[in-house]
Amino acid sequence: MENWHQNYDELKDYIKGHPSIEISASVMVMPDDVRPEFYRLFNRVRAAFVKEKHPALLAEASQLSASFAAARTETMACLNLKEVVVNPYLADFLQNPADGLMRPLFDPLFALLQGKTSIEAFEQTAPNLVETSARTLLHQGYIHWTALSLMKLMAPDTAHLVAVVDDTDEPDLTSAVTRPGWYTEEVPLLAVAERLPLDFSLYTRFLVPRVILHSGVLNAFAAISTDFHEVYRRAKDLSQHLEWYSIEEIRSEFGMGDLWPDMVLVLGDSGEDLRIAADYFNIARPDVLVDVMETEDWYQTGGLEKIKRHKNILKPRLGAFVVCRQPVPLAAMEELAPTPPPVQAATPTAEGPGQPLPVADSAPAVSAGESCHDIHLLSVGYDAGALEPIVEALRQWRTIGREAQNVRPEDKPDGWRTGIYN
């Protein structure tokens, strides 16, 4: 069976057979006439290494690639979009999983050819590089698949975006660091979505939703936001129809790390009310938050604690949903199961010893999709229909009426305030 060593030997033979190629610790010469074949063989080595050492990751990536492509096609059709855009690195990974997985091996393989490292060292360090990169890409891709699938389930009849400026090359970007929150800016008006960007620059003045839909199922506007990150401007005229939390108070209570979930959804009667997800000072209270768990060991590695933290920080009205690519771990269901009621022993009688009598009927154990402590566990995989409980929760909320469900100010937890803080 062919392995990566055979491909590596073929690459070295090619280099030896073409003296015009010079590769050493201090010199790199690659003439144009040999470059195409060199890189063809170079890429074969990387691809063979991934195929040999990471077959499971390659299978996961291929499944995500196919599922994302299907969700993208369906969502583009129902929203009449020309394009769905993701960042270039993730796009390459989704387009060609093997190519995306082997990218982290580019520099290490050159270091091996240059004699800067050994075969043994390469085989020890390279797998971790591939796995670390893959975990990030698989997580990002599964978030995007979830977002696209939810959009389609909402039966949208319109889709709008808020045009945010990419300030990566802004000449005065230093003001974002030296005087964050100093400037107030108008929020752009809604624009009909022709292209749907699922990734934004990290240098935006405030956070806006990925998309604002009008949902036929919900008879409401719905904003879907992902990728929360630091912003540096104050947004003018935040909607008075939303509830806003002070980010300063959040950080004071919860610290600086791991504050935001993978996705939040907010409903409104007007798309204009939903144009801002957060600015430097404020973040909108969501109706639903969603965290996605694409790995099998998410519960063992502290995933449920992350979800609880996100729920405690943002206190979504309808709770938190956990979208799992693998079956929901039994341990997670058991942890979230309602505490059984206490039992009371009956007084012994002459007929014999007393039997325990339950004070109340025991509640059934939580199962995937059921709510307990406002956390809903969903076994989804790549079945978009399994996301329906999220849409149904929002639909019921709209049916009942948001005003009737709003928490009174006097019932809010200590340390939290309602309103806009500037």
**How confident is the model over 69-116, as pLDDT tens digits?**
999 999 999 999 999 999 889 999 999 999 999 999 999 999 999 999
Lowest mean pLDDT segment, chosen from 106-110, 183-187, 200-204, 360-364: 360-364
Query: Which pLDDT score, from 0 to 100, does residue 348 have?
Result: 38
CA–CA separation, 337 and 160 (whole Å): 40
Q: Which of 389, 369, 372 is nearest to 337 (CA)?
A: 372
| pTM reported for the whole predicted model | 0.84
* Other residues' Cβ atoms within 10 Å of the Cβ of residue 250: 18
Question: How many helices and strands in the chain, by DSSP H and E?
Answer: 13, 19
The mean pLDDT value of the chain amounts to 84
Residues ≥6 apart with Cβ < 8 Å to 392 = none
- Tokens describing residue 313: 């920080």
What does DSSP assign to residue 387?
A: G
- What is the DSSP pairing of strand 195-197 with strand 83-85? parallel
Q: Evaluate if residue 384 carries a pLDDT over 90.
A: yes
Query: Which pLDDT score, from 0 to 100, does residue 315 have?
Result: 95
Domain residue ranges of the chain, discontinuous segments joined by +: 4-139, 154-341+365-411
Sign of the alpha-carbon dihedral angle for 379, 383, 384, 385: negative
- Tokens describing residue 295: 């790995």
Instruction: State mean pLDDT over 142-171.
Output: 86
Lowest mean pLDDT segment, chosen from 14-23, 49-58, 329-338: 329-338
Taking a C-beta distance cutoff of 8 angstroms, is the pair 244, 237 a contact?
A: no
Query: Which pLDDT score, from 0 to 100, does residue 136 have?
Result: 94
Instruction: State mean pLDDT over 52-68.
Output: 96
Give the pLDDT band (50/70/90) at residue 419: very low
